[in-house]
Structure 1
Amino acid sequence: MKTNILGLPVKESELIVNELNILLSNFQVYYQNLRGIHWNIRGKRFFDLHVKFEELYTDSQMKIDLIAERVLTVGGTPLHTFEDYIKNNQLVVGKNISNDEKAVHLIVASLSHLLKIEREILNKSAAINDEGTNAMMSDFISEQEKTIWMMQAWLEESL
């Protein structure tokens, strides 16, 4: 079996790169959704949510960079055009959302779908002992599960 400089199988690493680029694309849409709700939120909870949404989009911006750097580390090229992001996007695009509950529901739905993508990557990277990708996905999953729990607590919904 042919391996790359990291000792990972080349063919399987290419599949991981593809999956990471799908995650990257979806994170870019999630990030833009967060920017939009941050800018457009209205109502009595404005001050709290405006700050929270900024925290979330700042975090997602860091994750976007980590994903792109992981693509490069594994030997691929990160997607970087809006055309590619839209083509690979699986998330609902939030447009002109100013209602607090609609905004939080969008975040929960987006994170839930990102978790599905991340778990697929985790399974594939575990199969080839790609610990770098495993660790990143595990960290993302833990943080996003907690954010979903907090958002649902805010919505007074149960898991």
Structure 2
Amino acid sequence: MTKTNPAETASVHAALNLQLANWSVLYAKLQQYHWLVKGPHFFTLHAKFQELYEDAAARVDELAERVLATGGRPLATMREFLDAATLEEGSGDESAIEMVLNVASDYRTLAQELGHAIADAEHAGDGVTADLLLGIRESIEKHAWMLEAFASA
């Protein structure tokens, strides 16, 4: 990361930590949904939620390592994640379709926040972080679309 001014660097670290917090909350939600999903779509959604929580775990690691690589300190406790996150935990009472729509909505929220984070990274001259976040955004926009299509059937 090109050293610009400390405020720009702090802004990038804050954006990365927001993503880290949200992905950590989403990971727990996806695992919960994987365990608790019921109904005629059980086999499909049980496997899909596992795929998505494994992806979320990789995102958490990737984001934390990027914070470290750019000289910051990643959030690292559940309390920090919950305090910083804009996503909410699952209740455990959702229907299978509500689970799908909740995850799709979470992905849409993440994509919007990633847009701001990408702009912050570009403004700070951190093309590597911007590129990383753009790749994440592309992936989750596709997931959101697919989940919404599944739920509309």
Per-residue deviation, 1:98: 4.9
Deviates more, 1:91-100 or 1:116-125: 91-100
Per-residue deviation, 1:8: 2.5
Distance 2:93 2:9 in 1: 38
Determine whether 1:56 maps to 2:56: no
Number of residues paired by the alignment?
152
Determine whether 1:19 maps to 2:11: no
Question: TM-score, with normalisation over the residues of structure 1?
Answer: 0.91
Offset from partner CA, 1:22-52 (integer Å, 9 cap, x none)? 1111111011000000000001111111000
What is the one-letter code of the residue matched to 1:101? I
SS in structure 2 of the partner of residue 154 of structure 1: helix
Distance 1:101 1:78 in 2: 33
- If asked which structure has higher relative contact order (CA below 8 Å, sep 6+), I would say 2
4+ long deviations beyond 2 Å: none
Match of 1:131 among 105, 127, 131: 127
Offset from partner CA, 1:82-111 (integer Å, 9 cap, x none)? 111111111122121452101001101111
The answer (yes or no) to whether the contact 1:41–1:49 under 8 Å persists in 2 is yes
Match of 2:3 among 2, 5, 8: 8
- Alignment partner, residue 144 of structure 1: 140
Match of 1:105 among 101, 104, 129: 101
Q: Which consecutive unaligned segments of at least 5 residues does structure 2 have?
A: none
Give me the CA root mean square deviation.
1.3
Distance 1:141 1:147 in 2: 10
The answer (yes or no) to whether the contact 1:36–1:95 under 8 Å persists in 2 is no
Larger Rg belongs to? 1
Distance 1:7 1:89 in 2: 27
The percentage of counterpart residues that share the same residue type is 28
The answer (yes or no) to whether the contact 2:2–2:125 under 8 Å persists in 1 is no
The answer (yes or no) to whether the contact 1:36–1:97 under 8 Å persists in 2 is no
Question: TM-score, with normalisation over the residues of structure 2?
Answer: 0.94
What is the one-letter code of the residue matched to 1:105? L
- Alignment partner, residue 32 of structure 1: 28
SS in structure 1 of the partner of residue 74 of structure 2: coil
What is the one-letter code of the residue matched to 1:7? T
- Alignment partner, residue 113 of structure 2: 117
What is the one-letter code of the residue matched to 2:2? G
- Alignment partner, residue 3 of structure 1: none
Q: Which consecutive unaligned segments of at least 5 residues does structure 1 have?
A: 1-5
Distance 1:35 1:69 in 2: 22
Distance 2:89 2:128 in 1: 30
